Structure 1
């Protein structure tokens, strides 16, 4: 009965324009996206930045539109970089309207419109290189993936401006896709090689309320994993040719989650980005259609990821081979893949699961991933990026060893396959959507980010103000402002790393606390200018892995709330593997204003092996090390690799 009730609850999330972020911490990133990242990525897409990987993404559209002559350049999915930039730029536009940015967006819309075929089709690769081969290689060539990112950009721009020009272009394309694919006689029984369009179609459905878009998303989900195997059929039909000879087809059916019908899948396998995009769409469909069987599938897949296959950073997809999930508890640190896009997908999946079940567990994962893998993937100046997010780095090993060459240190200014930088931009520019959720009589506070938000509760205007010290401090100040008394449930998330908490309303401590699925429930009539103080105790802690995680036996890492810490060579010298932390050490949190414009650093007592005891022998029957006491210095993982090339280590051995 409780599960059925969760489906009956309709939750809204903030529109970006309605929430004003006031957090010094998060505004640094939001302003970076607005002032640096979006302009920088625009220049890269237009090939105006010297010394980086060439993009040609905008030029491809100019060629496809007939405005220039030339050949297609880049990955077969190069169009998606433009679409993700459009989506991020639209979120920036929604929160901070800028006429020049709007002009650039419309410049791109002009190109897309000119490049669109009369039947609605858009894809610069096939338009320029292989117009006769449209829809013949779904497994490898990303046509539906690119279409999905176009749809998401169109919805974002429409929501930001009310201008439906790009939305109509996307709808025309979807009408074409719907004429090609489906269960009806004469249509292709295919589905995407790289999932993305499914979740995009749900967004289009929620804006337009046109059932056909929901039905097409469901078709792509339900058709997946059936026999006869569609990708084999199309391969035979096109004469066994491949876009990437000997690559994707060799990865096997698990790679694109086509090994089983989706409702029978219980283990997260294959390419981690493909997987989480698909799971996000499945959760959306389960929510909208009240499909309990599909929800059970999503819950099993989510549990498999976060209890057996997720790094402490929120990174997923441990294997560089096929950018995929490995097996349970296989989480190597120096060989980690943990692609940034996969963590973006995990946040999408967790958020959609929260909208169904309203459990704080999902937001613990969102917060952990946001504060670590996501923001660590971008440099503090916004001009370089990690595609791969390791938990241990020795730069010489990355240069010399084949099994760690996928780890690039320092961050790269751009990539030939540049999916991750615009993905981070679109997530961080829309972070306001993740702070709250509300129904007619409930307001969930999910992220303790300082902000102002105005909403409607039971037909009455309510303003909520948050001034937060979290996660480095423990106090969250909340003010509820109403024009007249309004009754609703205020639900405050208690993060899993919170050791204790207290709640004060108008300076009086609440004695009897009701807690539900990880949320404090404050049910009352709220009057104008009610004030709440939430005191969260989150001390620096030593964290240990499950014993099955082979790389971390006998090691600890440090977290303060959701913030993961690491050792860097810049603070602790080289050969970080020769450092140990004392089992009895206290952890001292201290703000250091001189480090990277200000960081909360953690100091601990530890030891370093005395190099003078080494000698020249590579092996001995006895090797007793002399240990020298040292003060260890840990910085937040999100800030590593901003002070030149050097070693980094998240997990450290612990001794007495």
Structure 2
């Protein structure tokens, strides 16, 4: 019930509203680093004051407007402070997503964190204002990002120069920037898109980001961080306690505190289960309290137990996501379901969720078992840096090799037969890295050369080698050394 902080934030927003806007006497501008837009929507929810929603809409609609005699606002602003707009260091307003209005943008460009915060606000406004054109822009940009510009870990933004995007299919592994904050923003945006029609594809991206590109950004001790998250390292990239620009540590803490809201939601016809982990929540379903509890070792095991507690029997639909990696994207059925111990014959709906409608009673249980095969993963051939490479994934978790498990072997010299990967074995290791599932297999390694010649007509010899793969999100938590996600394929 305390309003002191809320009221001070409202006064601050009132000052911004008095300064910016379309009205005479106000500046027709918008922020260089988007994020206030999504904050204004949240402030509208907290206060009910529609002016904050309208200001967020103005910032979104005005961004990138120019032409037909109208000068770009950043050009006007630069001249007012005595700068030459042509000397803007980034050389393009793509950097802050203002080269054109959001409804006209076709590709995800510029600074990755800026883009994710902007798109999150666009999704918010699409819902609040029932604006189909904003939702269409989100869908178009989502398709470009996920299918042409995202790392397998859910990391985004390959370039250090602009902390962001370059061109389609440009996804170098060793020099990947993939800022931790950008993956957090990716999760935020997809969580918002998930609320529209409950499409599994958005929850799949959230899960990929959370279990891989986000968790890699913080050490298992919780007090050391990555700003950037490459997919290969020669042994010179390590978690550090702090940064000159310390956005990531605070953002990691915020995301961890927010994770609970990502797992469940309610809709007009029932309860939705989007993500899986040991958890419990109390929610209103059709006006009545429903307690839901998950018991699972996920993501190391695909068995999930769901138990419901209700004061009285209630009819509603329980929607449970079927991840794309186990059949939720139209592939073969890779799961089993039992209700109160009785096997059910169920298929995923078009949106990638099970839809189980029945009268639910107190103590009802759902046993949901997802198969977790070890899968070889290949990049689109257009990703030139990953041609002839293969990655290993099990469930939502991307794996890597780490030098500490492979002696003095240079990891880039290791190759695996892609046909063998599905037959690799899984070992649960409660004693390792806070308890993970590791993968064991065999490959080959190029032997040390027999001469010092830089070039030779003779192919190098190879030897067989035992491999141990660990979850990518846990690397650099033991001895310093090499790491590699993408291995040579044969």
Q: Which TM-score applies when normalising by structure 2?
A: 0.95
Distance 2:455 2:212 in 1: 39
Matches within 5 A, 1:289-308: 289-308=129-148
Q: CA deviation at 1:592?
A: 2.5
Q: 2:447 aligns with which of 607, 610, 627?
A: 610
Report SS of the residue matched to 1:541: strand
Return the alpha-carbon distance in structure 2 between the equivalents of residues 260 and 447 of structure 1. 35
Structure 1 position 462 matched with structure 2 position 302: no
How far the C-alpha of 1:311 sits from its partner, in A, is 0.2
Q: Assess if the C-alpha contact under 8 Å between 2:337 and 2:346 holds in 1.
A: no
Cα shift at 1:357: 2.3
Could you tell me which runs of 5 or more consecutive residues in structure 2 were left unpaired when the two chains were aligned.
Answer: 328-333
Give, in whole Å, the separation in 2 of the partners of 1:223 and 1:513: 45
Decide whether aligned partners of structure 1 residues 553 and 477 sit closer, same or farther in structure 2, where only a CA change above 3 A counts: same
Residue 575 of structure 1 is aligned with which of 410, 423, 436? Answer: 410
1:376: Cα distance to partner?
0.5
Maintained 8 Å contact 1:608/1:630: yes
Secondary structure in 1 aligned to 2:90?
Answer: helix
One of 69, 79, 82 as aligned partner of 1:239: 82
- Looking at structure 2, the residues matched to 430 and 262 of structure 1 have their Cα atoms a distance apart, in angstroms, of 27
The correspondence for 2:426, drawn from 570, 589, 605, is 589
Mapping for residues 256-655 of structure 1, pairs under 5 Å: 256-395=96-235, 409-499=237-327, 500-513=334-347, 515-573=349-407, 574-585=409-420, 586-611=423-448, 613-620=449-456, 622-655=457-490
Residues 540 and 306 (structure 1), Cα distance of their counterparts in 2 relative to 1, 3 Å cut: same
What is the Cα deviation at residue 601 of structure 1? 0.8
Confirm whether residue 179 of structure 1 aligns to residue 18 of structure 2: yes
**1:596 CA displacement:** 2.6
Query: Could you tell me how far apart the structure 1 residues matched to 2:348 and 2:249 are?
Result: 42
CA deviation after TM superposition for structure 1 residue 644, in Å: 3.0
- Aligned residue for 1:322, secondary structure, equals coil
Equivalent pair of 1:410/1:644 in contact (CA under 8 Å): no
Deviations 1:353-409 (A, max 9, x none): 1111210100000000000011110111111110010001113xx6xxxxxxxxxx2
Cα distance in 1 for partners of 2:355, 2:296 equals 19
* CA deviation vs aligned residue, 1:436-460 (integer Å, no higher than 9, x gap): 0102431110011111211222222
Q: Alpha-carbon deviation of 1:529?
A: 1.1
Aligned equivalents of 1:576, 1:416: Cα separation in 2:
31
Mapped partners of 2:315, 2:170: distance in 1: 49
Aligned-residue Cα RMSD (Å) equals 1.5
Shift of 1:514: 5.8
Alignment partner, residue 5 of structure 2: 166
Cα separation, 1, equivalents of 2:93 and 2:433:
45
SS of equivalent to 2:306: strand
Cα shift at 1:565: 0.3
The structure richer in strand per residue is 2
What SS is found at the alignment partner of 1:372? helix
CA distance in 2, matches of 1:614, 1:236: 64
State whether residues 441 and 487 of structure 1, in contact with CA within 8 Å, keep that contact through their aligned partners in structure 2.
no
Measure how far apart 1:215 and its partner are. 0.2
The 8 Å contact of residues 117 and 189 in structure 2, kept in 1 or not, is answered as yes
Whole-angstrom CA distance in 2 between matches of 1:473 and 1:344: 24
1:34 matched to which residue of 2? none
Aligned-partner Cα distance in 1 for 2:217–2:160: 17
Shift of 1:210: 1.0
Q: Structure 1, residues 31-74: CA drift from partner, whole Å, max 9, x if none?
A: xxxxxxxxxxxxxxxxxxxxxxxxxxxxxxxxxxxxxxxxxxxx
Q: Distance in 1 between matches of 2:54 and 2:101?
A: 17
TM superposition shift of 1:241: 8.0
Q: In structure 2, the residue corresponding to 1:270 is in which secondary structure? A: coil
Between the aligned partners of 1:641 and 1:496, the Cα distance in structure 2 is 29
* Aligned equivalents of 2:74, 2:450: Cα separation in 1: 57
Give the distance between the partners of 2:227 and 2:79, measured in 1 at CA.
34
The CA deviation string for residues 17-41 of structure 1, in whole angstroms up to 9 with x for no partner, is xxxxxxxxxxxxxxxxxxxxxxxxx
CA contact under 8 A between 2:90 and 2:162: conserved in structure 1?
no
**Greater Cα shift, 206-215 or 306-315:** 206-215
Higher relative contact order (CA 8 A, sep 6+): 1
1:516 Cα deviation from its structure 2 partner: 3.7
Decide which structure has greater helix share. 1
Q: After TM superposition, give the deviation of residue 512 of structure 1 in Å.
A: 4.7
Q: Secondary structure at the match of 1:361?
A: helix
- 1:313–1:373 CA contact under 8 A, matched in 2: yes
Q: Does 1:206 align with 2:45?
A: yes
* SS of match in other structure, 2:165: coil
Contact 1:556 1:654 in 2 (8 A): yes
Residue 410 (structure 1) shift: 1.2
Deviation at 1:511? Answer: 2.2
